[in-house]
Every structure is written in structure tokens, then in C-alpha cells.
Structure 1
Amino acid sequence: MTTPDAFAEPDAELDEVAEAILALDPDGSRWAEVVRHTYDMIYNGAETGRFHWLQLMKTEKTHFGTLFEINAQREFEFDGGDATDFRIAGHEVDAKWSQKEGAWMLPPEVFGRLALVATGNDEEAVFSLGLIRVTADYRSVGANRDQKSSLNALGRRSVRWLWKNAPIPANILLQLDRKEVDAIFASKHGTQRTNQLFRLAEGQLVHRGAVRTVAMQLDDQRRVRANGGARGALASEGFVILNGFWVGQRAIAADLGLPIPGAKEYVSARVVPSERGQGANILGGYWRRAEPGEAITVSAPVLTKDDL
């Protein structure tokens, strides 16, 4: 949590709301998942194959803020406000999202009240979330035809940031080289696209939303499973695919020196047999991560949910 800006006036209600939000989510990981989920919902990749903000229509971009508010309410079970979106710590709080920091549009009903302002950047995999009381001193003079206004320079400087450029689960399709992404989508078949994703994203975290997008299917686990999915198909190429939902698979990732996947993330790695005690114990055998270009002569072990 950042310290209050020197420009901000003392505000006991804002302090109480900030404390309540931080008590529910001390490290911001739950808010990060809300933002990730909202991006994935608006892309609707399982049906459209989209994964980038620029692929959205104008009306969809406008709808992002509404989905963000809905997803936040579902995640944290905030009470509804009388004139605002939420009631937090007993105080009215309106939620506002803008893809551009500082561009929040503030309706008359939030004037004089607290606003939870948020922004994010999917390409950079970051979000920011803060609080401000929308006083007359902090509002721009002009207003649009709906009587909405924005924060002026003083108002933008006076936001109490709870998280600033904090990480969200990355969209691997925005992290890979565009030529690699094009190679993934070159296949007409979802199974082949999923396999290619795990080949090209070796050693990197892959959120389930990306799997759904390349597979164009909601059931990401079906495309990854051992029987008929990427785990079985890529084993002969030396790949293991780990899912952070399983404690044992997180431990394998750590032993292989991989990033640790979360419950909604996967990570793939090419592995080769190793000496006992070196690397990771997978199904009773020891395996280490293959060096770049190292030949695969033994199929990787194929994990199922029943193994760990």
C-alpha cells in the first residue's frame, strides 16, 4: 500500500475503506485475478480467438468497466450501495475503470463520495487500484452531456494508491513473439494449436484463458490432459506440463527451476532423465530440464490428476 499523497486531505472514511480492502486481499492477488478474468471475459477467446485489446469493438471496450465491477462484487461479496456500486466498511464507494490512468468518468452521484479507481495494461500485465474522494477541488471544470466529469491534475495526484503497477497473471499470447503466435493459430485444429502453444511457451506461465483461446474451447483441462491432450501428445518430445492446482506439481516446477504456476496456470518444460537426487522426482524417476537443443531420447513421464 502506498502512503497518502501530500496533496490528499485527511479522510477517516477513506482510511477505513482502504483498511477493509487490504484486509480482504493483503497482496492484491485477488484483485489481480479479477482484472485477468475481466480481460478474458471481454476477449471471449474460447468463442472468438481474440486476445488483444485492439481486437475489441468500441462497445466492448466500454463494457469492460461494468464487467470489472460485477467481477469485483462476486469476488469480494461487497454489499451494494444506495447511490454507488458498493458499500465497503459501511461507506458508499463507486467503482471506476479506465484503460488509461486518470481518464475515469465520474457521474454526479459520486460527487462528494468515495471512488475506487482502477486501470490496467494487459500487454504489460499490470494493474493499479486506488481510492479518492471526488470533491469539487479534484474534479475538472468541464462535464459531458451526461454531467460526468473527470479528475483534474490535483485529483489525479491525490489518489490513494493501494496497488500501483502491480502484476496480474500474464497473457502469454501477448508475451510471445507475434510470429510465434501466428504459428500457433496457423493450424485449423484446436488440439494442434494447444500443443504448439506449450511448445513455444516452454518454461513460461500459461494462464488457462490462453489455453481456452487457442483451443477455442471452454474446457482447457480437456486440451491439456494426458488422454488425448497436450500432455500425452508432447511426451515423446520430452515435454511435461504442470498445473499449479496440484501441490505436487508446483513442487516439481520448483525442483526443475521453473516459475511456479498458480491454480489457474500451467507451465511446460522439456525434460531428460537425470541422476538420482538431481532435478525433480516425477513418478519415481529423476528428471532435469533439457538444455537448449539437447536431443530427447526418452519420452517424458505423463502426469494425470490421479498421480499427485
Structure 2
Amino acid sequence: AGVGREFGFAPNPSAISDYGADFFLEGVPVDFKFRLGRKPPYLVSYGALVMFVTVSGDNGVWDAGLWTPPHTGARAELKSWRDPEIRWLFRGQPVPDNPLLRMPGDELAVVFGQPTAEQRMTELLRRSTGRVVSAYVLGTVGMIHRVGQPLREAVGSLAEEGIVVLGYPERGMAETLRLPRPRPGEYVSVRLLRVGAGYDDGPVVELAGARWAVAGPDDPVESVHDLLDVLWLSRRGTSGG
């Protein structure tokens, strides 16, 4: 199972879909199930411990739990989330924001219509200013596993449009500018405007000897390429590559 590879669990090479364990955890066979929505479950096990995750797009939450079937080696069915054999690990956790799910279809077509990974990432970050974009979403758009190099190229392209990409090391700067605070593996793009000492229309940060504020839609575009030397992303790469 993909979740087993992601967390380094020992795989079960003989696993068959919906029959048998997907991986082993500390030597214990585990069957993994994923369900969309919180409707009444219908999970089947043939004796293995079941780890399940449910995601509700309507409510924006996810749950995870363990279900211990009552009979080892025999078919068992889970039909209610109130089953006493369920041990909940997480309940009602917020689903990380995914800008792709909120983007209109015509804009998605433009993003995915770009010919290279770097251009698709550039287009996504251009259209998602002020919102968190994870490395996983960037990888989805770029259709690649390691996002580091194409993301650095996207950062350089966006700088000519006045857009910087803030990562986890710039979380304090993002907070000062009243933007979402990126966690490790997350990024926030924002277009900046150079302002004078008397500017009082919003928060300001000082970079490269100048004062910068979040630009509005009617503000002029100014290259911020000189700021790349003081921003983490352009100097050290990313967690994705």
C-alpha cells in the first residue's frame, strides 16, 4: 500500500486488494482502508487489524482509527462508526487546504496546460497568492516527486512579476504581513510593493534595505529579483528536493 511505503512499514508482497494485510506494523498484519465521506462504513476484514482513514470534503475534516475484527481468520464486517471495537486515533481533524480544489475549471485548465513542471508551478503560485500551497500540491501540478529545482526556477520567474514565495523559514515574515503561516513543506506566494517611510495602509517588512508591503491589484508591478538573495527558498532549495 502507498501509505506503507510513505511511512516505511514492512510491505506484504502477497496482499490482494480487499483481502489480507497491506503491510506489517511491528510484525502485526494491518489492512488499510480509505473512504471518502462520513457515511456509514462498510469495511471488510479477514482477521487482520484494520487501519482506516475517512475524509469529508463537505465538512473539510478527516478521521483515522483502528478496528479490531472480532474473529481472527474469518470474514468480519464493520457497519457502524459506533462499533466498540474501533479505537479512534484522530477525530474531526481539519483537511489541509488544497488550492486546486477551490480553483475554477478554466483556471485549472490554464495551470495544467503549461508544458513544463516549472511553468505549471509558476502558474499555480501566480494564481494562488496569499494561500498555502504544499509541496504535495506542487508535485501534483508538476507531475514530479522532487519539486526543488523546478520550484526554484518558478521562484525566479515570479520575482520579475513582483511575487515572492515564502517558506517555513520566512514564517515570521508571513505572519507580519498577515499571511498564512507556512509549516515545513508549505509555501505562500505574495506580490510585494516597495513603500516609503510614511506608508501606513498595512503591515510592512524590511528586506534588502527597503520597506515592502503586500501589493494590491491596482498597484504597479515591480521586480523583486534582488530579494531572492535574502530569502531562504532561492538559497537553500526546498524540502521537496
Q: TM-score, normalised by structure 2?
A: 0.73
Q: List aligned pairs for 1:172-183, cutoff 5 A.
A: 172-183=99-110
1:290 corresponds to which residue?
A: 215
Give ranges in structure 1 of 5+ residues lacking alignment: 1-65, 137-145
Q: CA deviation at 1:196?
A: 1.1
The structure showing larger relative contact order (alpha-carbon pairs under 8 Å, at least 6 residues apart) is 1
Distance verdict in 2 for CA 1:95–1:167, change over 3 Å? farther
Matched position secondary structure for 1:257: coil
- Asked if the contact 1:115–1:132 (Cα under 8 Å) also holds between the matched residues in 2, the reply is yes
Instruction: Give CA-to-partner distance per residue, 1:108-148, whole Å, 9 cap, x none.
Output: x23xxx54332235787642112333226xxxxxxxxx964
Distance of 2:2 and 2:173 partners within structure 1: 36
**RMSD between aligned alpha carbons?**
3.4
Q: CA deviation at 1:157?
A: 6.9
Matched, 1:270 2:191: yes
Matched, 1:127 2:36: no
Distance verdict in 2 for CA 1:306–1:187, change over 3 Å? closer
| Residue correspondences, number | 215
Q: 1:104 aligns with which of 35, 43, 57?
A: 43
Q: Which 4+ residue blocks in structure 1 deviate beyond 4 angstroms?
A: 83-88, 121-125, 154-158, 275-278
Percent identity, aligned pairs only? Answer: 24
1:191 corresponds to which residue?
A: 118
- Asked if the contact 1:123–1:175 (Cα under 8 Å) also holds between the matched residues in 2, the reply is no
Q: List aligned pairs for 1:1-308, cutoff 5 A.
A: 66-72=1-7, 74=8, 85-86=23-24, 92=28, 94-100=30-36, 101=38, 102-107=41-46, 109-110=47-48, 115-121=50-56, 126-135=61-70, 148-153=75-80, 156=83, 159-225=86-152, 229-244=153-168, 247=169, 249-275=170-196, 278-291=203-216, 293-300=217-224, 301-302=227-228, 303=231, 304-305=234-235
- Asked if the contact 2:190–2:214 (Cα under 8 Å) also holds between the matched residues in 1, the reply is yes
1:28 corresponds to which residue?
A: none
Q: TM-score, normalised by structure 1?
A: 0.59
Instruction: Give CA-to-partner distance per residue, 1:66-125, whole Å, 9 cap, x none.
Output: 2223434x2xx79x9xx965556xx95734312245232211x23xxx543322357876
Q: Which moved more, 1:182-191 or 1:266-275?
A: 182-191
Distance of 1:211 and 1:173 partners within structure 2: 10
Higher helix share: 1
- Asked if the contact 1:252–1:282 (Cα under 8 Å) also holds between the matched residues in 2, the reply is no
